[in-house]
Amino acid sequence: MFTSKDLKQFSKKGISKEQVEEQINHFIKGFPFVNIIKAATINNGIVKLENDKLNKYIKLYEDATNNEKIVKFVPASGAASRMFKKLFEFKDDKNANIEDEKYKDVKLFFKNISEFAFYDDLKDACSQGVDFERDHKLILGCLLDKRGLNYGNLPKGLLKFHKYKDKSRTPAEEHLIEGIKYANSNELVNIHFTISPEHKKAFTKHIKNVKKEYEKKFNVKFNIDFSVQKSSTDTIAVDLQNKPFREKDGKILFRPGGHGALIENLNDIDADIIFVKNIDNVVPDSLKKDTITYKKAIAGILIDKRNHIFNLIEKLQNNLSEEAINEAKSFLENELFISLDNEFENKSDEDKAKYLLRKLNRPVRVCGMVKNEGEPGGGPFFVQNDSGSVSLQIVEGAQIDMSNPEKTKIIENATHFNPVDLVLAVKDYKGNSFDLHKFIDHETGFISKKSKDGKDLKALELPGLWNGAMAKWNTIFVEVPISTFNPVKEVNDLLRDTHKEL
């Protein structure tokens, strides 16, 4: 199937022939559906924090920060082009009429154009005499194309999102401010952005331009670094007969493996606690309070559960008793909502201890969950594996058999969804970093249909970062308020009150 040129291409990307063959096998076999048992709900898989508990965990985290290496991890490789999809369509339509119903979003954009944080820059980018009431396509050219602000080709993290009295800020800047507020250890703020290679120069320049200003203003030091999605995480594309899809020059087409590839970047980070939050989910300063409050609270829960796990591991290793076994079993069942394998009770005490240690000695994640108000995305469910063990998982719709009435009913009963609000503990009880590859469920990828050069193809996405890539982590779900979830998927989202400084 593969030529010597193909093998050289694999080698250059850092992908083995065996990996490629395994990926092709996934196309042939497909991926099994996840066996959801029920939706996680308040007090049954999702923790709700009343004020006393909220304050307790915030204090626990604040007291611990100076003894923990904390990193804020921001996936920021997404291009902004999708934000402007409707503007691009209008600009490229020779017969476009802004009064047409299909261009109502474009009309809304122009009606409120002066409210956007990038408005002043846009005026400067347009030549004198441009009429902002009429010259719509000319203005969109100034906004989106390279001859103007180039917003259609920049990453979201470098666009101006929020307008303040003295300046406007990008999402990257808002993440710096957030980092100061809840990821600050001994006045040092570590922030890691994952970016696309083509955007590294622009990101580096932007951060250099703003970093000193915020360090001086808030009396902190930033340690900011970047990584790119590794070429070795790209996946092969195939045609509809599951044969390698070849481009016009004969080379096999590889595509980015999706956000699940970022488990590689995460695995390279040396930290005790890692906050994960998407680049576009930011708000102005006057609306940051809930975000800061709940980030600290869920980090406090993480520290509490992590320390409890370390204590249980120590007991099982050094003072094995029926009491230690029962305590560990109770913690797994009642705190982590893990039901044990069918054969657990038939094991000897030694084998029970080994089994419990394997379950406990894993990375830990606390995931904020928001009440479902119709937003797309994954949700929190109880999932059963082949051995009968049940655990909490974040599951995407594509992983569920929608033709099964029993499963669709479970989805209908779901109350919360995943806003990508994670706090992670990635070191074991000895202080060594876990190898995160060991905790991936490789049977949870996605296959989607795409096209290239007018030909249909099938693409493979790796197990999602917070889905299959973390499937074997110990997981706690906590309800967080909807006010902490304010993503910007299209440009007009910036007109919402949640993106305006009060």
Domains of the chain: residue spans and CATH: 4-77+180-499 (3.90.550), 85-154 (no CATH)
pLDDT higher than 90, residue 262: yes
pLDDT higher than 90, residue 389: no
Residues 23-67 pLDDT 10s: 999 999 999 999 999 999 999 999 999 999 999 999 999 999 999
Residues in the chain: 502
The closest of 489, 498, 499, 497 to 105, measured between CA atoms, is 489
Residues 318-369 pLDDT 10s: 988 999 999 999 999 999 999 988 889 999 999 999 999 999 999 999 999 9
- Cα 418 to Cα 431: distance, rounded to the nearest angstrom: 29
Q: Which are the contacts of 427, defined by CB distance < 8 A and separation ≥ 6?
A: 272, 433, 434
pLDDT of residue 331: 97
Beta strands 421-425 and 364-371 are antiparallel
Q: Which are the contacts of 27, defined by CB distance < 8 A and separation ≥ 6?
A: 238, 242, 447, 458, 460
491 neighbors 280 (Cβ within 8 angstroms): no
Tell me the pLDDT band of 388, cut-offs 50, 70 and 90.
confident
Residues 97-120 pLDDT 10s: 999 999 999 999 999 999 999 999
CA atoms 47, 191, 176, 280: torsion sign: negative
CA distances in angstroms from 203 to 114, 155, 193, 196, listed in the order given:
26, 9, 9, 10
> Where do runs of H (alpha helix) occur along 220-341?
263-267, 289-318, 322-334
pLDDT higher than 90, residue 223: yes
- Cα 83 to Cα 103: distance, rounded to the nearest angstrom: 15
pLDDT higher than 60, residue 238: yes
pLDDT of residue 386: 84
The closest of 376, 418, 299 to 58, measured between CA atoms, is 299
- Cα 261 to Cα 211: distance, rounded to the nearest angstrom: 28
Tell me the pLDDT band of 376, cut-offs 50, 70 and 90.
low
Tell me the pLDDT band of 374, cut-offs 50, 70 and 90.
low
> Average pLDDT of 268-288?
97
Q: Which are the contacts of 279, defined by CB distance < 8 A and separation ≥ 6?
A: 74, 75, 76, 78, 155, 156, 157, 171, 172, 175, 193
The closest of 430, 128, 460, 470 to 267, measured between CA atoms, is 470
CA atoms 340, 343, 346, 348: torsion sign: negative
pLDDT of residue 477: 98
Residues 285-308 pLDDT 10s: 999 999 999 999 999 999 999 999
Residues 394-431 pLDDT 10s: 998 888 999 999 999 999 889 999 999 999 999 999 99
